[in-house]
């Protein structure tokens, strides 16, 4: 288990072009997460907020899955998939319902909605998880 990991977000191996942009979905996600002042895009840290809100729950799951693995109840890959799927859901929920700086009036007029982070739905539908072996950052 020490050499297994799960990454949740927008893995480069699965990144796609955003429908309404020359950027990839991961690039759009990063711009929204950290903000781009020169483009008047405020930080809307959906990934950090999802982790902060669910950190204790995720730590408990990790402990439980470790016990289940060492007890022979599930395999490492299954535990990583369960953990990845759960945090993927946390991020999707945060995109849909998180508290973020509101859209500018012009943005609302263009997209017809005041909900930050959701326009076409492509970004929220593109949250993925990736299981790997070895060491990662």
Banded pLDDT at 47 (limits 50, 70, 90): very high
pLDDT of residue 86: 98
What value does the mean pLDDT take over residues 64-72?
A: 96
pLDDT (average), residues 4-30: 87
Lowest mean pLDDT among 1-15, 35-49, 109-123: 1-15
pLDDT at position 134 is: 80
Residues contacting 58, CB < 8 A, separation 6+: 51, 83, 86, 87
Averaged pLDDT for residues 122-128: 94
Average pLDDT value for the chain: 92
Is residue 125 over pLDDT 90?
Answer: yes
Q: Which of 17-21, 29-33, 89-93 has the lowest mean pLDDT?
A: 17-21
What would you measure as the largest C-alpha separation in the chain, in angstroms? 56
Give the mean pLDDT of 94-112.
92
Query: Could you tell me if 132 and 7 are in contact, meaning their C-beta atoms sit under 8 angstroms apart?
Result: yes
Spatial neighbors of 113 by CB under 8 A, at least 6 apart, are 103, 119
Of the pLDDT bands very low, low, confident and very high (cuts 50, 70, 90), residue 137 is: low
């Amino acid at each position: 288990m020490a050499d297994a990991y799960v990454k949740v977000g927008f893995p480069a191996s699965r990144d796609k072009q955003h429908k309404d942009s020359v950027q990839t979905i991961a690039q759009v996600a990063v711009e929204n997460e950290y903000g781009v002042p020169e483009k008047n895009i405020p930080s809307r840290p959906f990934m950090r907020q999802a982790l902060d809100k669910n950190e204790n729950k995720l730590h408990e799951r990790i402990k439980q899955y470790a016990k289940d693995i060492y007890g022979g109840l599930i395999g490492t890959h299954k535990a990583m998939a369960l953990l990845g799927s759960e945090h993927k859901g946390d991020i999707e929920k945060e995109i849909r319902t998180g508290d973020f700086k509101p859209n500018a009036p012009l943005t609302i007029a263009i997209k017809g909605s005041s909900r930050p982070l959701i326009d076409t739905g492509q970004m929220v539908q593109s949250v993925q998880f990736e299981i790997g072996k070895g060491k990662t950052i």
